Amino acid sequence: MKLDFDNADECFRRDVSQWLSDNLSGEFECIRGRGGPGDEHMFIEERKAWERKLYQGGWTCIGWPKEYGGKAASIVQQVIFNEEYARAGGPGRIGHIGETLIGPTLIAYGSEQQKRRYLAGILTGTEFWCQGYSEPNAGSDLANVHTKAKFDDETGQWLISGQKVWTSLAHESHYCFVVARTDPKSVGQKGLGFFLVNMEQPEVDVRPIAQMTSTSEFNEVFFDDAVCSSDDLVGQCGDGWTIAMSLLGFERGISTLGQQMLFTNEFNDIVNAARANGSADDPIIRQRISDAYIGLKIMRYNSMRMLSDSNVDGDLSKEAMCYKLYWASWHRNLGKLAMDVLGPEAEILLDSPYQLTQLQSMYLFSRSDTIYGGTNQIQRNIIAERALGMPKEPRG
């Protein structure tokens, strides 16, 4: 891995830092450091306005090619942007699923019509997306999709029926990319399609899932013959698995840098709390803070190594396969560390009836890290079977 910061990159860093200093203030001061795990429900409208502000400043989708409105920023520059964004206390990005997942997927696999229709809304921060992968009874096994897509010969449209679950920010999204089975006789990875579904139709029902953080950023999504234009099938029937896996490559790639931005802010909050209440003098706490910092750096450099040798055609690198397993366990342990640093204060609510501090919310939310997006058990299977070439797990 080679990651040099030359004069041009340092100039880029100064531009990012100056713009954030000038603009993350005034009406946006309230969203500094907000919108992380367990805090995703806060300041929704202000964060949507922030997405538009970023676009006006030319800071959305900076890694996209210039022909689609991006800056064609290098990986080094994207790292710099995320570092400065974290340093400035930039809020969690509501538009990150569009910018880092479906946007690059459409650029790679979408038709020209799909690119013209959808990329502009993502770029300008005016249209938001959610991810329709997980299903009840399928766990983390994406190949066990039961949601069906049936082509209606009379209308020339696809009709989507089924249920997705754990769909983050579905209630704030205009569109959902959905993996559905186009061939009812198919099983596993075959016979799948990748669809772009309008969420603003009566055939789509979004039901919030009450979480122990008292919020509902996850949802169940029910599709009851939801209409999807024939032009909104990405690729061909049967390409769904390939496209879905490529999208996950983007998720484990550039978007990991944005995720580490949030982790850095949480880590800094814990260090500040430890200094303030004296727990930083505890040698055990100090050691755990050191371990957490080392883990944060391992994730950063592993991500950059992965991105330096990225292969975004769906054949994920071995480093990418390991990443989810690593960060999920690390972040869960960070939540435990936060509670131990706070001590008895961790048990006290900020206000009645159920208002948590950011660290309390982070702790509760982090309990789900080793489950959503692929459980640790599934991730170990993926590493064993796809990265190490070991025999597949027997399945009934």
- Give catalytic residue positions: 251
Rounded to the nearest 5 percent, the helix, strand and coil shares of the chain are 50, 15, 35
Backbone angles phi, psi at 383, to 5 degrees: -60, -45
Which tokens in the block code for residue 135? Answer: 């299903």
| Cis amide prior to 353 (ω within 30 degrees) | yes
Task: Give the separation between CA 320 and CA 256, rounded to whole angstroms.
Answer: 10
Task: Give the separation between CA 164 and CA 132, rounded to whole angstroms.
Answer: 6
Strand partners, 180: 193
Task: Give the separation between CA 234 and CA 114, rounded to whole angstroms.
Answer: 8
Task: Give the pairing of strands 148-152 and 157-164.
Answer: antiparallel
Q: Which residue has the tokens 């869960």?
A: 332
CB-based contacts of 236, cutoff 8 Å, min separation 6: none
Task: Give the separation between CA 104 and CA 176, rounded to whole angstroms.
Answer: 15
Contact in structure between 92 and 34 (CB atoms under 8 Å): yes
Angle subtended at Cα 253 by Cα 247 and Cα 257, rounded to the nearest 5 degrees: 130
